[in-house]
Structure 1
Amino acid sequence: MKVGIVGLGLIGGSLAKAYKDADVTVFGIDKDDLITRFALMAEAIDERLDDNNMKDCDLILVAINPVEAVKWFRENAPQIGKDTIVIDCCGTKRTVCRACFDIADQYGLTYMGGHPMAGKERGGFKHSSAGLFWNAPFILVPKHHDDMELMCRVKEMIMLAGFGRIGITTSEEHDKVIAFTSQMPHIISNGFIKSETALDDSQMISAGSYQDFTRVAYLDEKMWTQLFMENRDFLSEEIRGLIGQLTRYEEALEAADPDRLMKLLAEGKACKTAVLKKCGPQQINGE
């Protein structure tokens, strides 16, 4: 099997290392040639991905931002083999899938959206690891959901990188859910750490919840800004909902009303219990 990887940051670099560990031939390329050369030296990839070997790939994973992913696919579609499956790994799906489905139709190629549901607070090839995706879910967004032969083929290739399960959804549903499970935690954490209290020796008297809650405040602002803006409708809706809930807590505190506060806390606890019963302990989440 031969896999091409476009973009050798945290996600692409980890995919390259995971496939190499699975004895797969890996072709890779990054817009920063220094990163590409470093990946070659580190033996994370076998060769550069180029026009000569692109057509030989069974699978090409495009692990760059949505705008660049569409641009790359449009520019390289003529060189991609007809039997190659192209999957983007972007954090939002509506914009990239809409454009790439059209490009695939134009050139007679097989493309579907994808999202490896794992990550770290620090990006870049130097933080990539072969085990990043171990037992994690990989979400697929195909244009047609009824081609079971294709889906089985894709599942087999994806699972080689260590993923534990494959989920199939639409771009609309993906972006709605990801606004809550991934983007909201980053927004909340990033805003929470701006409190002046954070600089007042707070870590001297903090418990594990503080560290957990602020972990993703350290983010790549350029990348996340693009993802947030692409998903601003769903994300804004989630933010408004949270502000409404927080206002209820604030009002209970301002009114010195312990009964109302206890009721609010019990409601949240009950919601968490309901989620666990429905989804189980291994809920789909993302960085």
Structure 2
Amino acid sequence: MRTVLIVGTGLIGTSIALALSRSGATVYLDDRDTTAVRTAEALGAGSLETPPARVDLAVLAVPPAHVGAVLADCQQKGLARAYTDAASVKARPHEEIRAAGGDPATYVGGHPMAGAERSGPLAARADLFEGRPWVLTPSPRTDRAALNQGLELVSLCGAVPILMDTDAHDEAVALTSHAPHLVSSMMAARLAEAKGEYIRVSGQGLRDVTRIAGGEPTLWSDILTANADAVADVLEAYAVDLDRMIRALRAQRSDEEATREKATADLEELLWRGNRGHARVPDKRSSVPTEFVAVPVAVPDKTGALAQLFSSVSGAGINIEDVRIEHSLDRPRGLVELLVDAASVPSVRRLLDENGWAWQEDLPLVQAPVADAQGVHRSP
């Protein structure tokens, strides 16, 4: 793949452009938003020049509702030999491509499973897709050449290709992405008018649950509308559990011991199911079974402290697999948990001592989920 046209220079489009430019491809940029496309060009993502000839691949990084019309327009102009998109819903774009008169033979649906709370080209990163799944949804009419271009795109961006049927893809993302975003937003909406003193006592759990609620509302409204039925199916299943939990909590005030015991059993059953489901979510995509241990470190709340900590550890050749941060609102420090390979723990502790870091020996070490040979996580 030598030449690529990126249509749409938001977070995803610009990140794809940066990754392809880094790989040596000639990238051309197009967007109706002149500010966004000029910003992407200034970041080194590509050129605003009109391609002198048909490019090898055009990537449509536009919202799901616009994929069909944009593809038909690009195909009528003969801009590329093959086309893909980056929309997070796949069945509706496939239908609209046919309705708009597009040619499905040169098109393969695509969805890179990566993103960020921030939007726009300034949030883009060339490494955004490294190691992440990238779903391709070829139709029965997709040419092999178009599919190969999609696979090469995924490879150049450092992602992992996954071939899926369009309906299966939409059901999957409804469960793992779209419905969770709505639930996060509903939780965060409870905070909009909450008393300030209530917000003040919030902890990391609330920040974790509401983190993705910071996404751009207009974009997410478009995504949810495009995948409305599949998301509604997931929410209906949530509603069954939610109704059951409400009744179980209300029953805790019952005068009958048997009623209270059943209510407690219902609560615990859901919590245990939650444990099992959480254990299946990969923390880090790897085929090698690894056991990680959290080493808690007290970090002063001052500029450069985190960078100094990370530099000290990584400079000694110790890989930090993940990081958890708990910031105290009332104290000039925070608690940082460094997740490292279990065999590295003694070296990390020794290094922290030598550099004057206060690691918390009195706190229990928490083992992270362990991936088995099939990549399924289980409790250690």
Answer with 151-160 or 5-14: which moved more. Answer: 151-160
Work out whether residues 39 and 122 of structure 2, in 8 Å CA contact, stay in contact via their aligned partners in 1: no
Give, in angstroms, the shift of residue 92 of structure 1: 0.7
1:81 CA displacement: 5.5
Count of residue pairs brought into register by the alignment = 274
Q: What code does the residue aligned with 1:95 have? A: R
TM-score (norm. length: structure 2): 0.66
Please say if 1:5 is aligned against 2:6: yes
Note the residue ranges of structure 2 that are not aligned, 5 or more in a row: 253-259, 283-371
Specify the alignment match of 2:109 in structure 1.
Answer: 113
| Letter paired with 2:60 | V
Deviation at 1:69, TM superposition (A): 2.1
Instruction: Report how far residue 31 of structure 1 moved.
Output: 1.0
Match of 2:216 in 1: 220
Aligned mate of 2:275, from 269, 274, 283? 269
Could you say which residue in structure 2 is the equivalent of 1:285? none
- For 1:264, the aligned partner's letter is L
Shift of 1:94: 1.1
Contact 1:101 1:111 in 2 (8 A): no
Structure 2 residue corresponding to 1:166, chosen from 143, 156, 161: 161
- The offset of 1:240, in angstroms, is 1.2
Q: Pick from 65, 68, 77: which aligns with 2:66?
A: 68
Contact 2:69 2:96 in 1 (8 A): no
How far 1:91 sits from its partner (Å)?
Answer: 1.2
Letter in 1 for 2:164: T
1:175-204 per-residue CA deviation (whole Å, 9 max, x = no partner) reads 111111110111001100122485534554
C-alpha deviation, 1:105, in angstroms: 3.2
Structure 1 residue 148: deviation in Å? 6.1
Name the structure 2 match of 1:79: 77
Does residue 259 (structure 1) correspond to residue 355 (structure 2)? The answer is no
Q: Does 1:97 align with 2:94?
A: yes
| Contact 1:133–1:161 (CA under 8 A) maintained in structure 2 | yes
Structure 1 counterpart SS, 2:55: coil
Does the C-alpha gap of structure 1 residues 166 and 267 become closer, same or farther in structure 2, counting only changes over 3 Å? same
Does the aligned pair in 2 maintain the 1:114–1:139 contact within 8 Å?
yes
Aligned to 1:242: 238
**Alignment partner of 2:111: what SS?**
strand
Shift of 1:98: 2.0
Q: 1:215 to 1:274 in 2, by over 3 A?
A: closer
Range that drifts further, 191-200 or 36-45: 191-200
Q: Give the Cα separation in 1 of the matches to 2:195 and 2:68.
A: 42
Name 2:120's counterpart in structure 1: 124
Alignment RMSD, CA only? 2.5
**Is the Cα contact below 8 Å between 2:64 and 2:92 reproduced in 1?**
yes
Identical-residue share of aligned pairs (%) = 27
CA distance in 2, matches of 1:262, 1:31: 52
Match of 1:280 in 2: 376
Q: 1:70 to 1:147 in 2, by over 3 A?
A: closer
Once the two structures are superposed, residues 236-275 of structure 1 have per-residue CA deviations (whole angstroms, 9 ceiling, x without a partner) of: 1111110110111121111113333223322332344467
Whole-Å Cα distance in 1 between the matches of residues 25 and 199 of structure 2?
44
**Residue pair 1:3, 1:27 contacting (<8 A) in 2 also:** yes
Partner of 2:47: 46
**Per the alignment, in what secondary structure is the counterpart of residue 189 of structure 2?**
coil
Task: Please state how far the C-alpha of 1:205 moved relative to its aligned partner.
Answer: 3.2
More strand by share: 2
Q: CA deviation at 1:39?
A: 2.3
In structure 2, C-alpha distance between the alignment counterparts of 1:69 and 1:216, rounded to whole Å: 24
Letter in 1 for 2:45: A
CA–CA separation in structure 2 for the residues paired with 1:73 and 1:150 = 14
TM-score (norm 1): 0.85
What SS class does the counterpart of residue 255 from structure 1 fall into?
helix
Higher share of residues assigned helix: 1
**Mapped contact 2:58–2:84 kept (Cα < 8 A):** yes
Segments of 5+ residues of structure 1 without an aligned counterpart are 282-287
The CA deviation at 1:37 is 2.2
Pick closer, same or farther for the CA change 1:101–1:136 going to 2, 3 Å.
farther
